[in-house]
Chains A and B, each alone.
Chain A
Amino acid sequence: MIDATPILTETGGTLTTDGTAQTVYINNAPDGVYRPLTAIIDFANSTAAEAITVRLLYRITPGGPLTVMDELDFDGVISPPLIEIALSPTRYGIQIVLERTAGAALDYDWEVFYEATP
Chain B
Amino acid sequence: MTVFYDDIDVNEDILLDLPFREGTGTITQDIAKPHHPVDLIGAPTWTPLASNLMTLNLDGATQYLECPGADCVDLDFTTESYSIWGWFNWTFPDDSQIIIGRYDVDGPAFSGWELYLYKTGSLNLRHHHAGTIVDGNPRSAAYSMGWAPGVDWFFGVVRWGAYVAMFRNGVAQTVLSSTGGIRNPETCVQDLVIGTRFTKNDNFFKGMMWRPRVTGGAGLSGIITPNRFNQVYVREGVWF
Contacts and interface: CB of A to CB of B under 8 A. Distances in A.
A65 B44 CA distance: 22
Interface residues of A, number: 25
A21 interface: no
A116 interface: yes
A29 B24 CA distance: 8
A79 interface: no
A93 B27 CA distance: 17
A6 B3 contact: yes
A5 B160 CA distance: 31
Interface in A35-73: none
B236 A118 contact: yes
Contact of A26 (B1, B3, B25, B35): B25
B21 interface: yes
A18 interface: no
A13 B33 CA distance: 10
A20 interface: no
B228 to A, nearest CB: 15
Looking at chain A's contact residues, the main secondary structure is strand
A88 interface: no
A93 B30 CA distance: 19
Interface stretch (B51-59, B120-128, B168-176): B51-59
Interface string A105-118: 00000000001101
Given A3-B238, A118-B236, A11 B23 contact: no
B177 interface: no
B24 A26 contact: yes
Contact of B23 (A3, A25, A29): A29
Interface in A12-35: 12-14, 23, 25-32
Given A26-B23, A29-B23, A5 B3 contact: yes
Contacts of B236: 118
